[in-house]
Structure 1
Amino acid sequence: MRSTVYLSGLLAAFLLFCTYRTCFGMSHPKPACRYPPSQWCRSLEIALECKVQKQCMEVNAIRPNQTVPPVSVTLYYESMCPDCRIFITQQLFPTWTMLQDIMAVTLVPYGNAQVKNSDTFDLEHLDYYKLHGEPECRGNMIEACIIHLTGHSAAFHIIYCMESSADVLNAAQPCLQLYAPSIAWSTVDSCVEGGLGYQLMHKNAVMTRALNPAHTYVPWVTINGVIKQKNSTSGSLDYACTGAAVRLNRSLC
């Protein structure tokens, strides 16, 4: 129990730091190396080449006992929500890249959707209504299919690639080819166009609607199943972690 509290506190402190400064903005180098950020601390040789040996040493210094279960962070979000995209690309993904040994991320693309015929799940007549229209419905389903087909760890790289692009939908195929070349795009397309995509969306709908307390906006974050409210003590990990506290009063999805 104490280990879980320690890990939650460590993760909270790290993300809270991002509330007041751009993550890694003051010291994070921009090396010209041939490895993605997720690999920078894999070995000393890579860290030296990418000029991040100091940062990797600091991460290793605070790394806890590997037998301790990782902190479970779940993000409920929408693929087209601007604030969700900011949170994923500027906060959650960079944090996970550095702390993935102690942090397990689950992505739930659904958000503020409303489901028609949800009580009697019918693939032919199930409709999803999204804040940003049909493109977001498709974006959510594409990302749900990618998570299902590749697993959360690999999918996180792909979804980060999509969410950081100018066009989320058009980036889906090249991002998949970049980070999961063994998965054919036709497999994702079949998932989206077929019954599997609707089943995955229905599962995400059930998870989102089961939140207690219910979510009131996205991005909505839970740690080990518990939402951290804005008025809680240090360790607040909900929308305040998007990097600019002034956004709290005027920009929620």
Structure 2
Amino acid sequence: MDNKKNPWPVLSFFFICLSLNNHLSLGADTISANQSLSGDQTIVSKGGNFELGFFKPGNSSRSNYYRGMRYMKVSLRTIVWVANRETPVSDKSSSVLRISDGNLVLFNESQITIWSTNLCSTSSGLLEAVFLDNGNLVLRDGSDNSSKLLWQSFDKPTHTWLPGAKMAYNNRTKQNVRLISWKNSEDPAPGLFALELQQNNSSYIILWNKSVPYWNSGPWDGNIFSWVPEMRVNYIYNFSYVSNENESYFTYSLYNPSNISRFVMDISG
């Protein structure tokens, strides 16, 4: 398959009208060590931007439920992150998200672990999972108001790149942060297309079937990607690129923080 240099083929941004809805929730942005989340219970980020709960994708009639994040202030349900994207649950009322053995863990209806933060070393402190208003779910030691994060969802995105998150390459472990498309509109399992930062190169590539180059942004010149000239007319995003011995990454913010925007690795590539 030939490389395609068409600008912005999958990086879609959305500016969506706002609306507020009422939802059953724990009334907080935190899951503490003695709390759990099940059924229709949700947690909401402190400023009300995001909600974490169970959802059914698309118009699926199947009893497949996924634990995911969505925008709260968008009328059309818009999922930005999925925990158990490959392993749905069939009974959300008996499936539980809680802190267990130093990890945030999702148990299915048979109380089998189907998703976990998968930390090797456990903390001796009192852990808590906090849902930040930028859409980042973090696991941290809450016993001393420590700012050190043990795990964060920004390091494990699914198909969406939110403002403030990094699209990175770890120069030590040689691992990428990848955006991977959904399989289809009814199934959030990993699909055919992935976006990642190239090793030793400040450009992004889209891979088809996880290995075949499909599109290239061209290298970063300090202001734009060379094969995306439309970025010269940009009044929306403020991009920055950082490269050091530990990692190389892009991150971005919005010139107008009141806008709602995201980049998406679409199922169409």
What band does the TM-score fall into relative to the shorter chain? Answer: under 0.3
| TM-score of the pair, normalised by structure 2 | 0.24
| TM-score of the pair, normalised by structure 1 | 0.25
Choose between structure 1 and 2: higher helix proportion. Answer: 1
Bigger relative contact order (CA 8 A; separation at least 6)? 1
